[in-house]
Structure 1
Amino acid sequence: MIVTTAPSRGMKRTELLLISAVALGTLLNPLNTTMISVALTRLQESFELTFADVSWLISTYYLASAIGQPVMGKWSDLFGRKRVFMMGLLLVTLASCLAPLSPSFGWLIAFRVIQAFGSSALFPSGMGIIRSQITSNQARALGVLSVFSSTSAAFGPTLGGLLVHYGDWPLIFLFNFPFILGSFLLAWKVFPRDPKRSGSLSDMDWTGVALFSSAIFMWLLFLLSIKDGFSLWMLAVSTVLTVVLYRFELGKKRPFIDVAFLRKNGKVTMIYLQFILMNLVFYSIMFGMPSYLQQVRLLDAEHTGLVMLSVAGFSVVITPLASRWIDRRGPKPALLLGTSTVILGTLLLLIIQGQTSAAVIFLVLSVSGISYGFNNLGMQTALYEFVAKEETGIASGLFMTSRFIGTILSSSLLTMLFGSNITTSHLHGMAWVCAAIGVIILFLTVRLPDSRRTVVPQRD
């Protein structure tokens, strides 16, 4: 049983600096995911590409991140969390320096992949350090990281638009340096030294990594191909690779993906599934609504961005409140409220019609922001209640991989529902599908065990 003791008022200065170091690093991945979206048109012009060609900048980043999160998480467990965190910052630095100098589009994709792998090291290693160093009010610490992550993702398109307008697309990469420098200096100063590790590269399950990467890649190709027709052979290859991965890892003593642990610990597996579904709904709204607002409601990019800020803005506002509630009562009550508002938020999309004002749409979308604030933090906290501290790296990596899987699924859902023509009826179709998914998420939340912690009331 984990006992939560009453904390001292406020966090210590060292803890705040440690959280700041991790937060400045972890925001690099979501920030670079969304900033690039507004530069696609300029990149098409610079490299003389079609939109389908340039969209691989986004797809390869998701793919590299989905693979890199658990790989880097495992490395942080084997070789030391501070060491892997600093290595990740150096990789992002290298990629951000070289990307603006790319002689061709292929080189730009390669540097983006390096950037994705580097930024993928920061969340799992940083989470491992926070869990080992901050023993009270962990939900508040997670809440700070969640605010940094959601804020960077939300403001990415706005920042990207300004950078492209005033300095063209290379500035998007150069913009990373203040965050890299701040995170590096703080981490160098406040991160504890890594204990001596007996791990080596030979301890890594490289066959498992290859199988996992191949399976993720084939599923991505299959999902992206659905818009052009159902590919039976891609589905078959993806399924076979998944089965082979499962059976191979099941027989390993030190597997890359501990499927035996996931099979025995259904709670962790269900949390991953919930997180996939939650992100499927959230990113369907985040990616689908801007296209609807611009193509159907004919809003310009500036006004569309302001309307979409309701989702991220309310998520940022609700996260500190959710963290206090979770510290007191555990994650389940917050998750029950969060998953209920998933259903409410998606059903409210049905009131949007051709003449609905932007103010009403803003309020409708704010419900989705509230649900994400509760669910994102609640699911992180629930996960770590069922994961040992020494497994934090790989567990955090798989958690972020679940987010990317949900994002990829949302893209496929929108492709099937919207096709080449977006209408209000198509938006309502998305709302019904997401509401049905919300019901599944709520069912899984109800089945989640109550907190394992003995919660002691806190004084503010």
Structure 2
Amino acid sequence: MTSVLAQVAGSLRRRGPGGRAPGDGFDRRLLAPMMLGSVLNPVNSSIISVALVPIGAAFGAPPSRTAWLISALYLATAIGQPVVGRLIDLFGPRRLFLAGTALTGLAGVVGMLAPNLWTLIAARVLLGFGTCAGYPAAMSLIRSEAGRTGRDSPAGVLTVLAITTQTVAVVGPSLGGLLIGLGGWRTTLALNIPLALAGIALGALRLPKTPLPERAQGERRLAGLDLMGMGLFAVMLISLLVFLMNPDIGHLCLLAVVAVAATAFAVRELRAETPFIDLHVLGGNKALLVTYGRALLTYVVTYAFLYGYTQWLEEGRGLSASQAGLAQLPLFGTAILVSAATGRRPEIRGKLLAGAAAQVAACALLLLLHSSSAVWLIVVVALVVGVPQGLNSLALQNSVYHQADPERLASSAGLLRTFGYLGAIVASAANGAFFGARASTTGMHHLAWFMLAISVAFLLVTVVDRSLSRAGSASRKAE
């Protein structure tokens, strides 16, 4: 992974003294904190996949309860990403990056020492909020560098960022299996402590301070920050996600709360002088709305595979946590290579069409697996899944970069992650519904049919979306 990232980053331009390119190009000193901050959330999202079974055994908890370890992080992140992104739009990335990274380290300590499942869930909530700042901060830095240099940032920068967000997430199961083999499941939480310390050091040394005039302007705008809109947004998401975690006719009242909160949120945002999410702008940007919908669909499949398939490898196929992690290594390698090979090509629609087709093929392959499937077939599945993992996340990120309002890029990037985590919550609920008390082969096949239906929907949405061709043309002209 390191060598591939180095090659992509090295392709940017030759640098002069002080880390800046001749002609005042993109400041490569920003890459290290951008990459580290962005990777904290996806690694924590995926590393838990191989830890769910040993954590359940340690605390005597069934899959329906350990699923909250997944949902707690996504619930916090789905709410926190656009909120922190909006604060970054106002105050710049440095302070939010440092505060979020420190909270990530604290969450690592709490999780490492957790005496019961609910304390561990609380640690995952802290992780969700702590890791919110990294990705919006990185997108904000890319845009600000484009403004400083007077030209669009190199495509290699967006490629590096894509690799360190969703693509690097697939290393989580392999890393988690290794850590569990070395020191038990608590090491998967302790990993956040050294990562946070490194992030704080890099952020303090390399991230630019917000100029005083911009800081003063942000502080003036803080007085008009749409706290009511943020609160309604949180109520809407919490009610929806809690229902999705346990869909039952007795919980239909939660959907009523969602409807009321959504209506109140829309009315508030349309009338607010400085709205949290500018619905006037967002409503007129249909291409961006479709991108968010596409993100929801593809991440349902991504996370259903990440959690459901990994659990099946352990309980249905009989692999250990370490073996299940190793079985994901081909996926990781394929995803990194695909992102690195296609990252500098400006076409967005072509990437999404290829990724959608590969995603359909991967879901179909899951239907061939059974409790005694050969290792070579498991490797083939991982290789095929790596293709959409490498293409879709990169294309979705680039879509938002070119489609969003530049002044709200950080919050728009946060919303992309919010829709991705809504997909993760749906995937987690599907895993619980199809697996029940144990990740059986029959349950995995039912999950595969569900994933296949979502994948076909993703493919159809991509085929009919002509705005992607314009986005690709815009990318090509910018370069």
What do the CA deviations read for 1:8-49 (whole angstroms, capped 9, x no partner)? 963544533311211111111122233345455665677676
Q: 2:173 maps to what in 1? A: 157
Q: 1:255 maps to what in 2? A: 275
User: How many percent identity over aligned positions?
Assistant: 33
Q: 1:121 maps to what in 2? A: 133
* Match status 1:415 vs 2:432: yes
Q: How does 1:28-427 map to 2 (within 5 A)?
A: 28-40=40-52, 52-101=64-113, 107-133=119-145, 135-136=151-152, 138-150=154-166, 152-195=168-211, 196-197=214-215, 198-200=217-219, 201-226=222-247, 231-326=251-346, 330-353=347-370, 355-420=372-437, 422-427=439-444
For residues 438 and 113 of structure 2, what CA distance do their matches in structure 1 show? 37
Question: Structure 1 259/340 Cα, relative in aligned 2: closer, same or farther at 3 Å?
Answer: same
What do the CA deviations read for 1:378-436 (whole angstroms, capped 9, x no partner)? 11101111113221110011011111101001112223333345554543433333233
Question: Structure 1 104/363 Cα, relative in aligned 2: closer, same or farther at 3 Å?
Answer: closer
The CA deviation at 1:291 is 2.6
Contact 1:150 1:316 in 2 (8 A): no
What do the CA deviations read for 1:367-386 (whole angstroms, capped 9, x no partner)? 22101211110111011111
For residues 130 and 399 of structure 1, what CA distance do their matches in structure 2 show? 16
For residues 460 and 359 of structure 2, what CA distance do their matches in structure 1 show? 12
The CA deviation at 1:162 is 3.9
Question: Structure 1 115/298 Cα, relative in aligned 2: closer, same or farther at 3 Å?
Answer: closer
Contact 1:139 1:377 in 2 (8 A): no
Contact 1:325 1:334 in 2 (8 A): no
The CA deviation at 1:361 is 2.6
What do the CA deviations read for 1:59-79 (whole angstroms, capped 9, x no partner)? 222111111101100000112
Question: Structure 1 246/457 Cα, relative in aligned 2: closer, same or farther at 3 Å?
Answer: closer
Question: Structure 1 361/114 Cα, relative in aligned 2: closer, same or farther at 3 Å?
Answer: closer
Q: 2:13 maps to what in 1? A: 10
The CA deviation at 1:212 is 0.9
Contact 2:109 2:193 in 1 (8 A): no
Contact 1:17 1:186 in 2 (8 A): no
Q: Report the 3-state secondary structure (helix = DSSP H, G, I; strand = E; otherwise coil) of the residue aligned with 1:324.
A: coil
The CA deviation at 1:266 is 0.8
Q: Report the 3-state secondary structure (helix = DSSP H, G, I; strand = E; otherwise coil) of the residue aligned with 2:328.
A: helix
For residues 31 and 452 of structure 1, what CA distance do their matches in structure 2 show? 33
Contact 1:139 1:381 in 2 (8 A): no
Question: Structure 1 88/351 Cα, relative in aligned 2: closer, same or farther at 3 Å?
Answer: same
The CA deviation at 1:247 is 2.6
For residues 478 and 66 of structure 2, what CA distance do their matches in structure 1 show? 53
Contact 2:243 2:254 in 1 (8 A): yes
Question: Structure 1 427/170 Cα, relative in aligned 2: closer, same or farther at 3 Å?
Answer: closer
Q: Report the 3-state secondary structure (helix = DSSP H, G, I; strand = E; otherwise coil) of the residue aligned with 2:208.
A: coil
Question: Structure 1 39/288 Cα, relative in aligned 2: closer, same or farther at 3 Å?
Answer: closer
Question: Structure 1 340/103 Cα, relative in aligned 2: closer, same or farther at 3 Å?
Answer: closer
Contact 1:150 1:315 in 2 (8 A): no
Q: Report the 3-state secondary structure (helix = DSSP H, G, I; strand = E; otherwise coil) of the residue aligned with 1:256.
A: coil
The alignment covers a number of residue pairs equal to: 448
Length-normalised TM-score, structure 1: 0.87
For residues 45 and 122 of structure 1, what CA distance do their matches in structure 2 show? 33
Question: Structure 1 425/113 Cα, relative in aligned 2: closer, same or farther at 3 Å?
Answer: closer
Q: How does 1:444-455 map to 2 (within 5 A)?
A: 444-446=461-463, 447-449=465-467, 450=469, 451-453=472-474, 455=476
For residues 81 and 475 of structure 2, what CA distance do their matches in structure 1 show? 31
* Match status 1:442 vs 2:459: yes
The CA deviation at 1:164 is 4.2
Question: Structure 1 365/230 Cα, relative in aligned 2: closer, same or farther at 3 Å?
Answer: farther
For residues 334 and 43 of structure 1, what CA distance do their matches in structure 2 show? 38
Contact 2:39 2:165 in 1 (8 A): yes
For residues 445 and 106 of structure 2, what CA distance do their matches in structure 1 show? 44
Question: Structure 1 403/179 Cα, relative in aligned 2: closer, same or farther at 3 Å?
Answer: same
For residues 239 and 350 of structure 1, what CA distance do their matches in structure 2 show? 37
The CA deviation at 1:278 is 0.4
For residues 36 and 430 of structure 1, what CA distance do their matches in structure 2 show? 19
For residues 441 and 48 of structure 1, what CA distance do their matches in structure 2 show? 38
Tell me which amino acid in the other structure corresponds to 1:193.
K
Contact 2:85 2:413 in 1 (8 A): yes
Contact 1:131 1:138 in 2 (8 A): no
The CA deviation at 1:207 is 0.8
Length-normalised TM-score, structure 2: 0.84
Contact 2:94 2:209 in 1 (8 A): yes
The CA deviation at 1:110 is 3.8
Q: Report the 3-state secondary structure (helix = DSSP H, G, I; strand = E; otherwise coil) of the residue aligned with 2:218.
A: coil
Tell me which amino acid in the other structure corresponds to 1:143.
T
User: Tell me, which stretches of 5 or more residues in structure 2 are unaligned?
Assistant: 1-9, 21-26
User: Tell me, which stretches of 5 or more residues in structure 1 are unaligned?
Assistant: 1-6
Contact 2:177 2:324 in 1 (8 A): no
The CA deviation at 1:116 is 2.0
The CA deviation at 1:54 is 4.9
Q: Which deviates the most, 97-106 or 357-366?
A: 97-106
Contact 1:209 1:256 in 2 (8 A): yes
Question: Structure 1 229/126 Cα, relative in aligned 2: closer, same or farther at 3 Å?
Answer: same
